[in-house]
Amino acid sequence: MVRFSNKTETKTVQSILSYQKIARMFLKIGATAFGGWSTTAVLLEKETAKLSPQPQLRGAIAYAQLLPGATQVAIVANVGYQLRGFAGALLATTSYLLPAMSLITVFAGIYFTYVHNLTNLGSRLDGLVAALAGIILANAYKIGEKHATHSFLWFCGILACTVRLWLHINPIFILMFFGVCGLAYYAGYRKGRPS
Amino acid sequence: MIGDVITLFGVSLFISLVTFGGGSQALFYQFGVVQNHWITSNDLSSVLAFGYATPGPAVFGTAAFIGYKLAGPLGAIIGTIGIFIMPFLLATLAAKHLAKFVDEPHVHYFIKGVGLAAAGIVAATAFSVVGVHPLTFIQVAIAVGSLIASLKFKINPLFILVVGGLLGVVI
């Protein structure tokens, strides 16, 4: 089991770690962090264990999960900020993303040059598309499970799916509407109206 | 082309702002495949499979991939900046100023609402992805099998995609 520091607040460590060392550390993590954000967290904990004072990884993870977008990027940016302020955050994030971005760019180059235009490829990828649909559906359930702490909130998720699928309403409006529904639910919850 | 790249930047920015805990691939499907026709469902499946096989977050790989399709390596860089700039700025702000703000219960409930709406949109996208053509029994079986493999057995998405792809070719 991974054990993180007990400190939960994020403060600036502003250690004496040089920019060069930050770049090298996050390049290494970016090149080896396969899988979800937890792999990145484990590698970060290992890499920062030698530093004194240590950046507060647990706080970075806690806040990253509350923020939108890729959790890994938020964790890396937060830790980078603790190490050397804004410049440290920028350097850490860029270094972290560089290996994967290079690989994707090379893949895209090969794909769009040699694979994309193969005329008989369409039906051969049906299995891949079906598998993708299954994974997307599983992700939808995982996201819902994370946020739906009350039955009313599950209802919101199902309603959002229905509205999107049959009425084709723009996702932006759906997201904002249900965000406001969440706020309204909180206001009602405080007054003790919902059971 | 420049207009498309600017749109991609805006789309990536938006996706990075509204995806709490995942679901970005569904929004890339909506904006990249359905709405703007930048890539096809097959392209998206291929890049996601590759994205799961590379280090770092798979989500930004999709932005870089679409960017490359639109404007080569420069497009890939712009797509990547679009997808990571907001999480980066918010995380940096969280480290400095946002700590108290994100602890507010109002914010938690707003995030819950947005997160659930995102889950609903993601689910709708899953149906749209396979619903473009009439489904064969094999496709339904692969989709259901992938759902169970991912949810129940927590199997790596890359493995699921590879097996699903091979089954589609062989059967």
Same domain, A142 and A63: no
What was the pLDDT predicted at A11?
A: 47
Q: Which amino acid makes up residue A25? A: M
Q: Residue A9 pLDDT > 50, yes or no?
A: no
CB-based contact, B7 to chain A, within 8 Å: no
How confident is the model at residue A5, as a pLDDT?
43
Please answer whether residues A90 and B87 qualify as being in contact, where contact means their C-beta atoms are separated by less than 8 angstroms.
no
Same domain for A27 and A86? yes
Residue B6: what pLDDT?
Answer: 92
With CB atoms and an 8 Å threshold, state whether A131 touches B45.
yes
Q: Are residues A155 and A108 in the same domain?
A: no
- Domain check: are A64 and A141 in the same one? no
- Say if CB A64 and CB A133 are below 8 A apart: no
Mean pLDDT to the nearest integer, A130-145: 84
Residue B114: closest C-alpha in chain A = A179
DSSP conformation letters of A155-191 = HHHHHHHHHHHHH---HHHHHHHHHHHHHHHHHHHHT
Q: Answer yes or no: is A26 within a domain.
A: yes
Distance set, CA B42 to CA A80, A85, B164 (Å) = 37, 42, 13
In a domain, residue A7? The reply is no
**What ipTM describes this predicted complex?**
0.74
Q: Which among B77, B75, B62 is positioned nearest to B31, based on CA atoms?
A: B62
Contacts of A154 (CB under 8 A, 6+ apart): A144, A148, B116
What separation, in Å, do the N-terminal and C-terminal C-alpha atoms of chain B show?
39
Asked whether residue A168 falls in the same domain as residue A103, the answer is no
Q: Is A70 on the interface with B (CB under 8 A)?
A: yes
Tens digit of each residue's pLDDT (9 = 90 or more) over A173-183: 888 888 888 88
d(C-alpha B78, C-alpha B109), whole Å: 32
Same domain flag for A31 and A88: yes
Task: For residue A13, tell me if it sits in a domain.
Answer: no
For chain A, say whether B32 makes contact (Cβ under 8 Å): no
- Whether pTM > 0.80 for this model: the answer is no
Of A131, A135, A147, the CB nearest to B116: A147
Query: Between A93, A103, A182, which is nearest B114 by CB?
Result: A182
Averaged pLDDT of chain A: 79
Q: What is the pLDDT of residue B97?
A: 66
The pLDDT score that the predictor gives to residue A146 is: 79
| Number of domains forming the structure of chain A | 2
Looking at A67, A90, A115, which one is the last position of a domain?
A115
- Identity of the residue numbered B25: Q
Does residue B92 belong to the interface with chain A, where contact is any CB pair within 8 Å?
Answer: yes
pLDDT digit string (tens) for A43-93?
Answer: 888 888 877 777 777 778 877 777 888 888 888 998 998 888 889 999 999
Task: Tell whether A171 and A85 lie within a shared domain.
Answer: no
- In the predicted model, residues of chain B with pLDDT beneath 70 are 21-23, 95-103, 130-134
Residue A11 lies in a domain: no
- Interatomic CA distance for residues A18 and B103, integer angstroms: 32
Contacts of A57 in chain B (CB under 8 A): none
Residues A94, A181, single domain; the answer is no
**Residues A165, A94 share a domain:** no
For residue A46, the enclosing domain spans 19-115
Q: Residue A194 has what DSSP assignment?
A: -
Is A173 an interface residue toward B (CB < 8 Å)?
Answer: no
Percent of chain B's residues with pLDDT above 70: 90
- Whether A104 and B77 have beta carbons less than 8 Å apart is answered as no
Do A90 and A140 have their domain in common?
Answer: no
Residue A109 inside a domain? The answer is: yes
Q: What is the pLDDT of residues A156-170, one digit of tens each?
A: 888 988 888 888 787
| Inter-chain CB proximity A78 and B17 less than 8 Å | no
Based on the domain organization, do A37 and A86 belong to the same domain?
Answer: yes
Domain boundary among A115, A132, A162: A115
The reply to whether residue A135 touches residue B157, judged by beta carbons under 8 angstroms, is: yes
Instruction: Indicate whether A8 belongs to any domain.
Output: no
**Domain end marker among A66, A98, A115:** A115
Whether A152 is in a domain gets the answer: yes
Q: Which helix (H) or strand (E) holds B146?
A: helix B137-151
Task: Write down the residue that tokens 């290494």 correspond to.
Answer: A28
Residue among A64, A116, A133 minimizing CB distance to B129: A133
> What is residue A121's predicted lDDT score, i.e. its pLDDT?
60
CA distances from B144 to A130, A162, B127, B134 (A): 9, 20, 12, 16
Taking the Cβ of residue A124 and every Cβ of chain B, the question of whether any pair is shorter than 8 Å is answered with: yes
Does A103 score more than 80 pLDDT?
yes
pLDDT of residue A8: 43
Burial B58-92 (b: 16+ CB within 10 A, else e): bbbbbbbbbbbbbbebebbbbbbbbbbbbbbbbbb
CB within 8 Å of chain A, chain B residues 109-128: 109-128
Q: Is B8 exposed, middle or buried (0-12, 13-18, 19+ CB in 10 A)?
A: buried
Which is nearest to A26 in space by CA: A103, A105, A84?
Answer: A84
Tokens, residue B19: 């995806």
A74 in the same domain as A108: yes
| Mutation for A interface: B111, B116, B161, B170, most A CBs within 10 A | B116
Answer whether residue A6 is part of any domain.
Answer: no
Distance CA B63, CA B58 (A): 9
A67-to-A21, A96, B85, B111 alpha-carbon distances in Å: 27, 19, 13, 9
Partner residue opposite B122 with nearest CB, options A63, A75, A140: A140
Q: Which residues from chain A sit within 8 angstroms of residue B94, using beta carbons?
A: 10, 63-64, 66-67, 74, 78
